[in-house]
Amino acid sequence: MKRDLAALSGETFDLLVIGGGIFGAGVARDAALRGWRVALVEKADFASGTSSRSSKLIHGGFRYLEQYAFGLVAEACRERRILQRIAPHLVRPLPFLMPVYEGDHRGFTKIRLGMTLYDLMAWYRNVTPHQSLAPDAARAKEPALAPTQVSGLARRGLRGAVLFYDCQEDDARFCLENVIHAAECGAVCANYCEVTGFVAREGRIVAARVTDRLKGGETFEISARAFVNAAGPWVEAVANLTPFDGRRVALSPTKGVHLLLPRLTQQHAVSFQSRSARDGRIMFIIPWGEYSIVGTTDTDWRGDPGQVRAEPADIDYLLAEVRAVLPGSSVTSSDIITTFAGVRALLHSEVANPSWRSREYRIVRHGENLISIAGGKYTTYRAIAEEAVNRVSRLLGSRAAPCRTAETPLPQHRPPLSGERIADSPVVYASDIAHASEYEMAVTVSDVMRRRTSLALSRHGGAETAAAVARLMAAHLGWSDDQKGRYLQQYLDEWKQALP
């Protein structure tokens, strides 16, 4: 996959996709597999928006049953199976324990009933149906679980736990694999290319104006017969660049923060009810190699999605919740390895409680030939992309070739491991950096540290590893010392901002 901007302006594409998060990548791959001429542009790096900042779960969304979102859960359970089938190397089953304590917002009976419904939504085709565990059995599986929790003057005993399965992925890597496969199927994809305007004629968009963010702001146009705005939390901003009414994709975004801590559990993820939130919102402690990811918060967000950060109050809240459910961990902010935060592009809603806002999506048409995708979950990206491509096909008046993404495996792109070992967890070799630079369009140190590898989400996210990565990238990409220093500094600034 080469960054070839001349190829973007040399022809009229069937479809231009704006945004290289999972939805844009999914749409580009779907359309390219149907034989369309496709272009994809991303204003920063692929997956640098929400699609590298999720909880990294491919899940049915057990908690949405409470909101009667049965359609969403059934679709997510179906997609969980499909993604395991087409990408078993990227989407792996993960066992979850959900402990229930006396006085929890949802009692043990309600949770067990909900889990029965959850199994049913998957037609009992999940790894195994859920299992109810007595307190001793639950603690035998995860001895760190609190036998009792202290709430004010009361001590609340563990009533039991439910064992169930969802799946885990590396969201940035998964998104990138979709982009790479789209490119292998003929799509012309480029990162660091921002859509800054449109050229419209008689109710139709004929071209997008694009600015190259790497080469000092050079601008050019990309012509296409149809356009998909898959800009995630920026979807309104991109819709507002058109001469049509952009307000139709109004969002009510929320912020979600995660902490990376040393490993807190043995085999299982723990899904538990928040002690401090009155609605007992569901939170996660998720294994991530030799670490645990703890998340997440869910609070209104009105600022620039690019500026979202973990604030001290978010960190205190998450740490207090971990200490309540795993008291032996005694975690404090000095244990935090790093943090990451993202913006959920939720559909506009009058619902005051962010956790109760719908996770559904909407596809909106602007003018004759541009559609925007708003809302949605990572888990359901493939189905949403399929619907988006079908819609575009109808707009263009052509008979849609059938969608092939549910059957076509996502290829594996790991190079043979060789050369210097950069890190031991995750295991990264010099050959990974070479491959990322030469074949995966990594053009900055951040691209490699955060999205081609998961070094930034490990103990190896600091200056020493980043300098080694910068040295190797400089050799492959022919950087000057000045460029090497700039890209290294840019990454280190981001890394410091993510520290508590």
Q: CB under 6 A: which stretch of 182-190, 230-238, 470-478, 489-497 binds ligand FAD?
A: 230-238
- Which of residues 17 and 145 has its CB atom nearest to ligand FAD in the complex? 17
Shortest separation between residue 51's beta carbon and ligand FAD, angstroms: 3
CB of 380 to ligand FAD, least distance (A): 7
| Cβ at position 421, least distance to ligand FAD in Å | 30
- Candidates 56-64, 109-117, 318-326, 348-356: pick the segment binding ligand FAD (CB under 6 A): 56-64
CA 277 – CA 425 distance, rounded (Å)? 34
Cis peptide before 444 (omega within 30 of 0): no
Q: Of 135, 160, 256, 500, which lies in the binding site for ligand FAD, with binding defined by CB under 6 A? A: 256
Beta bridge partners of 205: 200
Whether the Cβ atoms of residue 345 and residue 375 lie closer than 8 Å to each other: yes
Assigned token pair, 25: 């990548």
CA distance 399 to 92: 36
Sign of CA dihedral 171, 172, 173, 176: positive
Instruction: State the Cα–Cα distance between residues 198 and 461, nearest whole angstrom.
Output: 39
Give yes or no for residue 23 binding ligand FAD (CB under 6 A): yes
Name the minimum Å distance from CB 290 to ligand FAD. 20
For residue 40, what are its two tokens? 């994809």
- 346 is an interface residue for ligand FAD by CB under 6 A: no
CB of 333 to ligand FAD, least distance (A): 19
DSSP class of residue 462 equals S
Interface with ligand FAD: number of residues (CB under 6 A): 38
246 sits near ligand FAD (criterion: CB under 6 A): no
Q: Are 145 and 154 in contact (CB under 8 A)?
A: no
**Footprint (CB under 6 A) of ligand FAD, residues 268-297:** 296
The answer to the question of residue 444 lying near ligand FAD (CB under 6 A) is no
Q: Does 379 bind ligand FAD (CB under 6 A)?
A: yes
Provide the token pair at 286.
């998720």
Is residue 98 within 8 Å of residue 136, measured between CB atoms? Answer: no
Q: Which residue among 36, 96, 234, 288 contacts ligand FAD (CB under 6 A)?
A: 234
The tokens describing 280, both together, are 């007992």
Tell me 251's DSSP state: B
- Is position 114 an interface residue for ligand FAD (rule: CB under 6 A)? no
41 binds ligand FAD (CB under 6 A): yes
The residue at minimum Cβ distance from ligand FAD is 21
Which of 32, 231, 259, 470 is close enough to bind ligand FAD by CB under 6 A? Answer: 231
Helix, strand or coil for residue 174? helix
Residue nearer to ligand FAD on the CB measure, 48 or 446: 48
Of 260, 343, 445, 470, the residue at the interface with ligand FAD (CB under 6 A) is: 343
Which whole-number Å values give the CA distances from 44 to 4, 6, 192, 212, in the listed order? 16, 18, 4, 10
Q: Is 78 in the site for ligand FAD (CB under 6 A)?
A: no
Is residue 253 a contact residue for ligand FAD (CB under 6 A)? no
CB 256 within 8 A of CB 298: yes
- If we measure between CA atoms, which residue out of 384, 321, 378, 292 comes closest to residue 57? 378
Residues lying near ligand FAD in the complex (CB under 6 A) are found at 18-24, 41-44, 48-51, 53-57, 59, 194-195, 230-234, 238, 256, 296, 342-344, 376-379
